[in-house]
């Protein structure tokens, strides 16, 4: 059994979508980051960085924080969504790292400055919107000749989907990125994705 510590955000949903995809049983522990629950000593013992998501695998006693590490852990535990041959594995891992270092931080900053910041700073909004649209272009080009980000559906798709899926909330459109739009529409039809996106 896996204990999942999460909240209603794209990073949290990467982990819940993955747990649904690999069909592992899990308990959901809601960490309400708007109520500072990520800063309790009990949670810091699980994630020293005070962010969601994190998991505790009761079968192994292993705790994992950072959503990318969680996806790799669950893929290796189940043998799903991460190829084992070296070439295929690194084709997925490079796109997973691209998500972790690019998509998540840049789209997250755009959310913050465009939606949540009490002071609207045009420079910051333009900087992160421009970078988000540039990343849309990178993904769109990759998806022009790949059905999924790395060919077969993988943890690269699981990591990226929850961040692209919120494009309307970010005041953006995918109309100029037809391959990315086609991919979002395909991934959102997966029953495991629909279940995972509703957790917690």
Ligand X SMILES: N[C@@H](CCC(=O)N[C@@H](CS)C(=O)NCC(=O)O)C(=O)O
Work out whether 37 is an interface residue with ligand X (CB under 6 A).
no
Dmax (CA) of the chain: 49
Place of tokens 């993988």: 154
The contact pattern for ligand X, residues 6-25, with x = CB under 6 A and - = no contact, is: ---xxx--------------
- DSSP SS3 for 5: strand
Q: CB-wise, 38 or 132, nearer to ligand X?
A: 38
Number of residues located near ligand X, criterion CB under 6 A: 12
- DSSP SS3 for 45: coil
Angle between the N-to-C axes of helices 104-111 and 155-164, in degrees from 0 to 180, rounded to the nearest 10? 10
Work out whether 196 is an interface residue with ligand X (CB under 6 A).
no
Given 102, 104, 162, 196, the residue binding ligand X (CB under 6 A): 104
The continuous run of DSSP H or E covering 28 comes out as strand 26-30
The continuous run of DSSP H or E covering 108 comes out as helix 104-111
Work out whether 67 is an interface residue with ligand X (CB under 6 A).
yes
Work out whether 160 is an interface residue with ligand X (CB under 6 A).
no
- How near is the Cβ of 162 to ligand X at its closest, in Å? 9
Contact 156, 162 (CB under 8 A): no
Given 19, 52, 72, 82, the residue binding ligand X (CB under 6 A): 52
Work out whether 38 is an interface residue with ligand X (CB under 6 A).
yes
What is the token pair recorded at 179? Answer: 């391959």
Residues at the site binding ligand X, with contacts judged by CB under 6 A: 9-11, 33, 38, 50-53, 66-67, 104
């Amino acid at each position: 059994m896996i204990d999942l510590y999460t909240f209603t955000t794209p990073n949290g949903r990467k982990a819940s979508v993955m747990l649904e995809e690999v069909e592992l049983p899990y308990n959901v522990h809601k960490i309400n980051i708007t109520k500072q629950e990520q800063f309790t000593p009990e949670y810091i013992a699980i994630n020293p960085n005070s962010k969601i998501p994190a998991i505790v695998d009761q079968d192994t006693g292993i705790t994992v924080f950072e959503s990318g590490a969680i996806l790799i852990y669950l893929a290796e535990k189940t043998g799903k969504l991460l190829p084992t041959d070296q070439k295929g594995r690194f084709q997925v891992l490079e796109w997973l790292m691209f998500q972790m270092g690019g998509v998540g931080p840049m789209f997250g900053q755009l959310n913050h400055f465009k939606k949540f910041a009490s002071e609207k700073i045009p420079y910051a909004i333009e900087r992160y919107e421009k970078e988000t649209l540039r990343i849309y272009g990178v993904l769109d080009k990759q998806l022009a000749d790949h059905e999924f980000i790395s060919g077969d559906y993988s943890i690269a798709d699981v990591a990226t989907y929850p961040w692209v899926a919120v494009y309307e909330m970010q005041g953006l459109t995918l109309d100029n990125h037809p391959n990315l739009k086609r991919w979002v529409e395909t991934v959102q039809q997966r029953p495991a994705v629909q279940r995972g996106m509703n957790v917690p």
